[in-house]
Structure 1
Amino acid sequence: MSLVRRGLMLPFIGFLSSCAVSVHDYKQRTPELDLSSFFHGQLEAYGIVQDYRGRVIRQFKADIVADWSDNKGILDEVFYFADGEVQRRCWQLTKDGKRYSGTAGDVIGTAYGEASGNALNWRYTLAIPVKGKVRHISLNDWMFLVDENNLINKASMSKFGLGVGEITLNIHKLSNDAQRELSPDCSLALINRTK
């Protein structure tokens, strides 16, 4: 590439990077999102998975039970896909002011997120089975609190920096009281023992 072309590209790349959305862009938006308040009790979610072209490739419903003790939280999620597959995920969360960290069995390492206003942005890598192989997919996961009982969640998936799909779901809080017990392998007692 010639020096002239490189010289023209650098300002353009700088411009693109300055256009990135930050969670702090939402600091004035209400209602304020606090994971320990919204994700407490019984919740349900309905969502879709889209491929890189935007085509819907999966639909699901999720049953979520959440509990918190001080700054430690558990999200016990059961996903029911339209094709009959059932997946479980147990998030173990830690809250530090407006920052959150979390682990789960299919999350590689630790997820890190920050809340501001009505939004939260998580970043993590998820191990996803694809055609008999496990792929490590990066997620840029956004949550937006619409009102005290409804949250929109949209996650962009990428591999090697290229978009491979999106997950969109509406999470609805049914009650502050759980309608089922936490799974035996997903409890606050387990978090407190391992920390």
Structure 2
Amino acid sequence: MIAFVLGLAVALALVALKTRYLGFAAQTPADYDGKGPAFDLRRHLDGPILCEGVIYGPTGRVVSRFTGDFLARWEGNTGTMAEEFRYDSGATQSRRWTFRLENDGSITADAPDLVGSGHGMQRGSGVHLRYRIRLPEDSGGHVLAVTDWMYLMENGAIVNRSQFRKFGFLVAELVATMRPKEAA
């Protein structure tokens, strides 16, 4: 029995180390210094934007698909982005972000469903945000910790990957693309 408990403890420690030092959470904004096109929120998240994505559940299977229409505007280093989502279930969701960008690349983000403010950094081709979000009541009303990474592609598209955790356990992951909406 002692060997089993010791083996389980070692396995859990290895999983924790992998997650902390080798996985998605191990990325830092400095990893993207001087790589790819320079991501500037004021330029690349501005105007009308189309978004398409999927949400994976804790088992890695797609649990939802969505599309979104965003409208972002900047005045100096302060921006707002209105998001209108449509899910494959027929549900809709709206969110309005406010971003403040500092000269060193640090970001503060606020939205009505955040618990506190989000914080992050833009460096090189990447943007990183961390925040806590409260799910709608019809989705349980849980508060999840979110790690958000956006990567600017050479063609101007943005790939977004987000992980959602509860008590440190991965409960969902989102992968989406965003691109400027073409004028009709």
**With structure 2 as the length reference, what TM-score do the two structures score?**
0.84
Cα 1:12–1:164, aligned 2, differ >3 Å: closer, same or farther? Answer: closer
**1:66 matches 2:97:** no
Partners of 1:91 and 1:102 within 8 A in 2: yes
Cα 1:23–1:45, aligned 2, differ >3 Å: closer, same or farther? Answer: same
**1:164 matches 2:171:** yes
Residue in 2 that maps onto 1:99: 106
Cα 1:14–1:101, aligned 2, differ >3 Å: closer, same or farther? Answer: same
Residues 103-162 of structure 1: CA distance to partner in whole angstroms, max 9, x if unpaired? 001111101010111001100011113655300011110000003530000001100001
Q: Which amino acid aligns with 1:143?
A: M
What SS is found at the alignment partner of 2:30? helix
Q: Which amino acid aligns with 2:85?
A: F
What SS is found at the alignment partner of 1:147? coil
Cα 1:152–1:69, aligned 2, differ >3 Å: closer, same or farther? Answer: same
Residue in 2 that maps onto 1:84: 90
Distance 2:108 2:32 in 1: 20
Q: Which amino acid aligns with 1:152?
A: V
- Percent of residue pairs bearing the same amino acid type: 24
TM-align CA RMSD: 2.4
Q: How does 1:37-52 map to 2 (within 5 A)?
A: 37-52=43-58
What SS is found at the alignment partner of 2:134? strand
Distance 1:87 1:14 in 2: 34
Residues 71-127 of structure 1: CA distance to partner in whole angstroms, max 9, x if unpaired? 110001000111111100000110102111110011111010101110011000111
Q: How does 1:111-130 map to 2 (within 5 A)?
A: 111-129=118-136
Choose between structure 1 and 2 for higher RCO, CA contacts under 8 A separated by at least 6 residues.
Answer: 1
Distance 1:104 1:173 in 2: 22
> How far 1:12 sits from its partner (Å)?
6.5
Cα 1:83–1:12, aligned 2, differ >3 Å: closer, same or farther? Answer: closer
What SS is found at the alignment partner of 1:134? coil
> How far 1:62 sits from its partner (Å)?
0.4
1:31 corresponds, among 34, 37, 42, to 37
**With structure 1 as the length reference, what TM-score do the two structures score?**
0.80
Cα 1:55–1:67, aligned 2, differ >3 Å: closer, same or farther? Answer: same
Cα 1:13–1:157, aligned 2, differ >3 Å: closer, same or farther? Answer: closer
1:110 corresponds, among 117, 121, 142, to 117
Stretches of structure 1 that go unaligned for 5 or more consecutive residues are 180-195
Stretches of structure 2 that go unaligned for 5 or more consecutive residues are none
1:75 corresponds, among 61, 66, 81, to 81
